[in-house]
Structure 1
């Protein structure tokens, strides 16, 4: 007789499978329940409810995206928000309300190069039961393919690309045309965003009702970072995981991991459902715990932002090193 059953070692290899004891039987039953849940089969339909080992929570979907109806985790805006909270304020500038954020506007028309990316955020109003949160204004920003942030990094203080605002439509959706961001030292690849009650509120960062980040799936990052211009991201990504990241590490980015479709040649679409609850008090700008992320040292990719946050910045998000040239003075 085999000493294993379904890959599990038998406690009594000389006995039949049904004579292995209660502990082994329960383990086998639990394994079957997990298989059934994966196929969406109710446990009660198979007489398993009496076992008393099933959680009342449903199984999480096998997806790289959050389908949770819960509130999006409140995260740091980091040291490079450009929302006026630490100096530079793109939200006061005419032209910030736009869907295509690849180019700077105003005094510069520089276009950020990289693999095309469309970002879709579906905002839900949890305070009213979870319907579409139409009319809210969403501000997004992220680094370029070299790891640099416009308005802050060396050589980019005169740029404002990869920043923009959209107002959610009747379905609660906002869509941005952008490029896939880099992975810089100490941080998992991500996109920042803030949600405001409406377009009229974006000039006051204290009115944000949610501040969070979108995490990008590793398989997509691995593919994108093989492309020209992303060379430094290959090394940087190898040094960080979702678990070690100081923003996503508390739950491996479970509720912030975007769903991605597309390919390198035609571009990718990154989608995330964002639950916003106006009954809770936002803690935007609070720095994440030390360790495992920017601010913990390391050298950013060429052109990337410095690490110690600019004086007066929220902190906790930028790569290690000296502040970028042109960083805002202390507030």
Structure 2
């Protein structure tokens, strides 16, 4: 059987742990090796079992403050608290663990924070959104609108969790697809228990993976033009290279990623990061807008 493996350096030292936790792939010790899985379909992508969480690692030491990014236009407030957010959507399974840490207090894990994530499906569709417009048609190059039949009450590939006693949450999802004008990414937001918005960010994927997805179903059915990371304005202006996640595992059985977010509990999210195209609302907490 042909498989595709991501090979990453495992937890051999404290410095390696902290590199992995901080989502920073600039160091040569944190290189991901990828072999294209060309012209093959993923057969077991419709369901994701709830596997045990990865072994928890100590995060004592030093870590950097994770850069913020724009919220984008497709945030929705009324989502479920849940671990499995797939709702049966097909795609490469992704077991995503996020550690939230106090970057100014020895990377101490932060319990009791709400972590929201959301992203599009393999075809570039967000739940609760009726259409997306932009540079569609990878082959045509013309501006187009992707019209969907998604119900406004659907919430697939959206959810939140409350960080546990060591500041960790875990989501079962899929590797996202893409939509016109953006690279592959996952949105996330972190809130204090009071409801104050503490951090807005985006997680990105290695360009080798992104390119090879175009040959793998169901991603190969996506006709939108994908923008590479280094061409994307948001990626370039918000230090997106620092939030490229490291993946391990096999594409036929599922990928894993453990990533950490360094926070400053005194921070205020800039209002320009959370307006999207639906209006402002920075810092107003869980119910700030629909």
Q: How would you bin the TM-score normalised by the shorter chain?
A: 0.5 to 0.7
Provide the aligned length of Structure 1 versus Structure 2.
213
Of Structure 1 and Structure 2, which has the larger fraction of its residues in strand?
A: 2
SS in 2 for 1:128: coil
Q: Quick check: 1:209 aligned with 2:198?
A: yes
The residue that corresponds to 2:68 in the other structure is 74
The residue that corresponds to 1:61 in the other structure is 27
The residue that corresponds to 2:95 in the other structure is 118
- Aligned-partner Cα distance in 1 for 2:98–2:182: 21
CA drift at 1:312: 3.0
CA drift at 1:141: 0.4
Q: Quick check: 1:183 aligned with 2:178?
A: yes
The answer to whether the Cα contact below 8 Å between 1:141 and 1:163 also exists between their aligned partners in 2 is: yes
Structure 2 counterparts to residues 190-269 of structure 1, below 5 A? 190-198=185-193, 201=195, 207-231=196-220, 233=222, 236-237=225-226, 240-250=227-237, 253-269=240-256
Structure 2 counterparts to residues 273-292 of structure 1, below 5 A? 273-283=260-270, 286=273
The residue that corresponds to 2:153 in the other structure is 158
- Aligned-partner Cα distance in 2 for 1:173–1:64: 24
CA drift at 1:100: 0.2
Q: Quick check: 1:98 aligned with 2:64?
A: no
- Aligned-partner Cα distance in 1 for 2:251–2:86: 17
The answer to whether the Cα contact below 8 Å between 2:99 and 2:168 also exists between their aligned partners in 1 is: yes
- Aligned-partner Cα distance in 1 for 2:157–2:262: 23
Evaluate the alpha carbon distance shift between residue 313 and residue 142 of structure 1 in structure 2; reply closer, same or farther with a 3 A threshold.
Answer: farther
Of structures 1 and 2, the larger Rg is shown by 1
Q: Report which structure shows greater RCO (CA 8 Å, sep ≥6).
A: 2
Q: Quick check: 1:312 aligned with 2:279?
A: yes
Q: Which digits, 9 at most, give the CA deviation of each residue in 1:117-176, with x for residues without a partner?
A: 111111111243321112211010000111011011332223111011111122221110
**Unaligned stretches of 5+ residues in structure 2:** 1-24, 33-60, 131-147, 282-288
The residue that corresponds to 2:121 in the other structure is 144
Structure 1 length normalisation: TM-score?
0.58
- Aligned-partner Cα distance in 2 for 1:220–1:141: 20
Structure 2 length normalisation: TM-score?
0.65
